A and B are shown apart, each in its own frame.
Chain A
Amino acid sequence: MRIQLTSIFVDDQQAARAFYTDVLGFTVRHDVPLGDDFWLTVVSPEDPDGPELLLEPAGHPAVKPYRDALVEDGIPLAQFAVEDVQAEYDRLTGLGVVFTQPPTDVGPAVVAVLDDTCGNLVQLITTRPEPIQPEEPRD
């Protein structure tokens, strides 16, 4: 078994398509009209046959209270791996992206959390393969 598709709700699919491609840098995999909406998925250009992210319309009444509560507590709904969180933070803030959490060193990883402008928070992460050097024991 493998993860082939996962979804996040977006307020506006047109805006989401623009943000996830032009700003974040993903590529559209499927963009199929479905009534007023689209079956809209993106993939990473680094892994075009990898898992797809479905940008799903947020019309269901349960979506708003669910997402509002998570955003209030700063909880991201998705996590994307990047080469260098700090470099992405610099690049994205230059494009006007708002971060609720700047790059934060949490030991085995550096993380940051951004607002995807479509109603969600997304965490960026760079994991360290192994500690660079053993730390001094702390008390």
Chain B
Amino acid sequence: MARGRLAQPLTGKQRLAYFRVVVDVFRALDDETRRLILDELTARDGQSLFEICSVLTMRHGISSSRQAISQHLAVLEEAGLVTTQRQGRTKLHHFDPAPLAAIVRRWPTATRGNR
């Protein structure tokens, strides 16, 4: 994965792939409902679409349709922030923070002012 090798300079296609990941992550995060989905998956990882819809409605007053939430999940999945895995016959969603690391590597907070 290109994301794992960012310590070395990126060139050509690798560089394009890196920017594509970062752009997708920013687009995915540019929505309050999607940020809340990540909050809820952080609180409890591995939730079905039904559970995500339940907590968004009951805890956050989000009245979007199940189809709309499903589309939000697709955007998060495309950005690599959410992965899905089957438990029995039910599809569960997991939060993967790995793409966020690309942002931190680009603008490291720990090294600020030390350069």
Query: When the two chains form their complex, are residues B50 and A107 in contact, meaning their CB atoms are under 8 A apart?
Result: no
Query: When the two chains form their complex, are residues A76 and B54 in contact, meaning their CB atoms are under 8 A apart?
Result: no
Contacting residues of chain B (82-104) with chain A, CB-CB under 8 angstroms = 87-92
Which of B47, B58, B59, B89 meets A101, CB within 8 Å? B47
Query: When the two chains form their complex, are residues B50 and A104 in contact, meaning their CB atoms are under 8 A apart?
Result: no
Query: When the two chains form their complex, are residues A72 and B90 in contact, meaning their CB atoms are under 8 A apart?
Result: yes
**Interface bracket on A:** 10 to 19
Q: A73: CB under 8 A from chain B? A: yes
Q: B48: CB under 8 A from chain A? A: yes
The 0/1 profile, CB within 8 Å of B marked 1, for residues 59-88 of chain A is: 000000000100111111000000000000
Q: B51: CB under 8 A from chain A? A: yes
**Interface bracket on B:** 10 to 19
Q: What is the predominant secondary structure among interface residues of chain A facing chain B? A: mixed
B48 / chain A contacts, CB cutoff of 8 Å = 73-75, 100-101, 113
Known contacts: A104-B55, A106-B54. The answer to whether A115 contacts B49 by CB under 8 A is no
Known contacts: A73-B48, A74-B49. The answer to whether A100 contacts B58 by CB under 8 A is no
List 5 A-B pairs, minimum CB-CB distance, nearest first. A74-B48, A106-B58, A74-B50, A73-B49, A75-B50
12 A-B pairs within 8 Å (CB atoms) are namely A73-B90, A74-B49, A100-B48, A100-B88, A104-B44, A104-B51, A104-B54, A106-B54, A106-B55, A111-B54, A113-B50, A113-B51
- Report B's interface with A, CB cutoff 8 A: 44, 47-51, 54-55, 58-59, 66, 70, 87-92
